[in-house]
Amino acid sequence: MKKVMRFTSLSAILLLAACGGGGDGAEGGNDTDAPNANGEQIYENNCSFCHGADLSGGAGPNLQNVGDKYERDEIVHIILNGKGNMQKVNVSEEDAQTVADWLLTRD
């Protein structure tokens, strides 16, 4: 039983260490990929149903080259307020900005 508890404790510690913490960059690590990963995750959870997992569209328009049509602030505005048949998305302004930044890197 003690071996199982030690293994479980060690596994939990390794899992927590792998997930990181803080995320404030204080450790001097490279957080440049974090916004892209976060933007992609927010997109997958809130946008991919209509715009497609590969941004190619579906019920919503193709977003593969959305930066050719809209600036960052316009994309954020559309996410937060909707446009045409698109309902506003229930995300924070920060998340909308993260998704907009991520979308613009996809062009």
State mean pLDDT over 83-92: 96
Q: Indicate if the pLDDT at residue 77 is higher than 80.
A: yes
- Give the integer Cα–Cα distance in Å for 35 and 99: 8
Backbone angles phi, psi at 17, to 5 degrees: -65, -40
Please say whether the beta carbons of 14 and 57 come within 8 A: no
The 10s digit of each residue's pLDDT in 17-72 is 333 334 444 444 444 456 578 999 999 999 999 999 999 999 999 999 999 999 99
Give the right CATH number for 34-107 from 1.10.760.10, 1.10.357.10, 3.40.50.2000, 1.10.540.10. Answer: 1.10.760.10
The pLDDT confidence band at residue 93, using thresholds 50, 70 and 90, is very high
- CA–CA distances in Å: residue 67 to residues 9, 22, 26, 72, 78: 47, 32, 32, 8, 13
